[in-house]
Amino acid sequence: MYSFLNDYSEGAHPLVLDALIHTNSEQTVGYGLDPYCQKAKDVIMNRIHNHDVDIHFLVGGTQTNLTFISFALRDYQAVIACDEGHINIHETGAVEATGHKVLTKPHVSGKVTVDMIREILQEHPDEHMVQPAMVYISQSTELGTYYTKDELQALFTFTRENNLYLFLDGARLGSALVLDDAPDMADIAKYTDAFYIGGTKMGAMFGEALVIVNDHLKKDFRYHLKNKGAMLAKGRLLGVQFYTLLKDSLYEDIGRHENEMAMIIREALEEKGYPLYMPSTTNQIFVDLPNTDITKIEEQYMITHIKKLDQDHSRIRIVTSWATAEEEALRFADFIKQL
């Protein structure tokens, strides 16, 4: 059985693993104050052309989302997301468990729009209901789509005009960075109040790098980080990994590779005439198939069941990663063509 379940089935990219092994016996201070975390921070600051940011390394995406959102919002404030947003459907109510409601509207191609935000603001006009104070988006989205630079800039302009924070979840950021009209890291830093660079789904063993741009969200964040159990004692394990991923083009190389492997499979599905749900150019594929074909696929491959469409058809997700070998993608494509 070969797995196309997700982009974190394997361990770490060999170069990341080599770096962890090479530095394994070194002694450093803890809690993210080590030289490797500083080197990783320097690389990130250089990439975004901004040295006036705060950078913190956390272990996972859900942990990063709930820690940052609960820090940024006051008790009576809420965060806006689309209905498919990760914080709304895939985090077991983690953000809401911190006391902050997630306000949603139906997605548009997996994304939040200005019109959606405006509608939610109109529905929350006074102190008798929660106050929207932040917009949450992810790049790439839960449905494999992505925000263009123009779309991100439009969101940021609107949130600025309406005193809202804009926070970008970059769990799969590398998959979008390599697309022509997508914002690069410098653009993201320019058009958000905070964002994070995903590691867990981008070749790291684990880890996310949170970049706080807005000065109002920086003070005492390390206190909150510790309070939420999100401060890793062996912080250098995160620094080593992010320095390795970001010091050259490895991060983008991973994103480009997983997208290319997904395209091999996507083209086979299209050639076969299967309808794609929310067509994308990133590493996630959502496709609607007859249940009989899904049964055949699952004799050799692991995929994710998303939704039952009717008695005879279902939607599945196929995901590629840094470790997806071209021969495996081609073999799967040939298998699809023979269905």
What letter represents residue 318's amino acid? I
The domain boundary residue, chosen from 221, 246, 271: 246
Query: How far is the C-alpha of 316 from the C-alpha of 311, rounded, in Å?
Result: 15
Q: Give me the mean pLDDT over the 80-108 stretch.
A: 96
> Residue 279: which pLDDT band, with cuts at 50, 70 and 90?
confident
Number of domains in the chain: 2
Helix (H) or strand (E) holding 173: helix 173-177
Pick from 246, 267, 302: which residue ends a domain?
A: 246
What local confidence, expressed as pLDDT, does residue 58 receive?
98
DSSP 134: E
Helices (H), 12-60: 14-22, 35-48
For residue 232, give the CATH number of its domain: 3.40.640.10
Range of the domain at 202: 14-246
pLDDT band per the 50, 70, 90 thresholds, residue 278? confident
Average pLDDT over residues 200-220: 98
Among residues of the chain, what percentage have pLDDT more than 70? Answer: 100
Q: Does 242 lie in the same domain as 254? A: no
Token pair recorded at residue 277: 């749900």
Res. 321 pLDDT band, cuts 50 70 90: very high
Q: What is the pairing mode between strands 313-319 and 194-198?
A: unpaired
pLDDT score recorded for residue 317: 97
Q: Are residues 188 and 110 in the same domain?
A: yes
Cβ atoms of residues 206 and 3 within 8 Å: no
Q: Which residue has the tokens 């410098």?
A: 186
Closest CA to 138 of 92, 96, 107: 107
pLDDT confidence of residue 80: 98
CATH number (domain holding residue 275): 3.90.1150.10
The reported pTM is: 0.97
Asked if 160 and 269 sit in the same domain, the reply is: no
Q: What is the pLDDT averaged over residues 57-74? A: 98
Query: How many helices (DSSP H) and strands (DSSP E) are in the chain?
Result: 14, 12
Q: Is 193 in the same domain as 273?
A: no
Domain boundary among 246, 273, 308: 246
pLDDT(292) > 90? yes
Quick one: 233 and 255 in the same domain?
no
- pLDDT (average), residues 188-201: 98
Phi and psi, residue 47, nearest 5° = -65, -35
Whether 47 shows a pLDDT value over 90: the answer reads: yes
How high is the pLDDT of residue 62? Answer: 97
